[in-house]
Amino acid sequence: MDMKKIVFSVFLTVLAGLAFGQNPVNWSYEAKKKTADTYEIILTAELESPWHLYSQNTGKGGPIPTTIRFKPNPLVTVSGKTNEVGKLEKTYDKNFKTNVLYYSDKVQFVQTVKLKGKVKTNITGTVEYMVCDDSQCLPPAKKTFDLKLL
């Protein structure tokens, strides 16, 4: 193997390590009590610049939309859809050749849940997401959450 190939191989290995070692999203989770039996589950994503995270409503043919799944719990009813709170941006993405919906800086995913009676339990689930900047995307990632409902 000549020196150019060795240097190029090392460069690609370092570049791949940097890409997979990056985590430009910081997630936090909160259960906010609204009434005796109703909670808002708030999943907050804070993004480093210039990264962005895709909406749950980004269309087909584009990047992977953010998907939130709640593990079934017989003591909890998940009502309605998960709302997005943040500055929604829409643009034509030349890499995906389609319009995409995304958030930069910060977005909150808010879901209303109701307890069935006066019980203490947890709500658990996953959030699957993909982040990109103007030149690259990181592989899709999945985070789990587990919140106490008292």
Q: What tokens were used for 112? A: 């209303």
Q: At residue 9, does pLDDT exceed 60?
A: no
CATH number at residue 74: 2.60.40.1250
Name the residue range of residue 85's domain: 25-149
Report the pLDDT value the prediction gives residue 23, as an integer from 0 to 100: 87
Beta strands 67-70; 121-129: pairing state: antiparallel
**18 within domain boundaries:** no
**51 within domain boundaries:** yes
Q: pTM value?
A: 0.84
Q: At residue 20, does pLDDT exceed 80?
A: no
**6 within domain boundaries:** no
**100 within domain boundaries:** yes
Return the DSSP state at 10: H
Number of domains in the chain: 1
**72 within domain boundaries:** yes
**17 within domain boundaries:** no
CA 9 to chain centre: 32
**60 within domain boundaries:** yes
**5 within domain boundaries:** no
Q: What is the mean pLDDT of the chain?
A: 87
Q: What is the dihedral of CA 112, 149, 143, 136, to 10 degrees?
A: 40
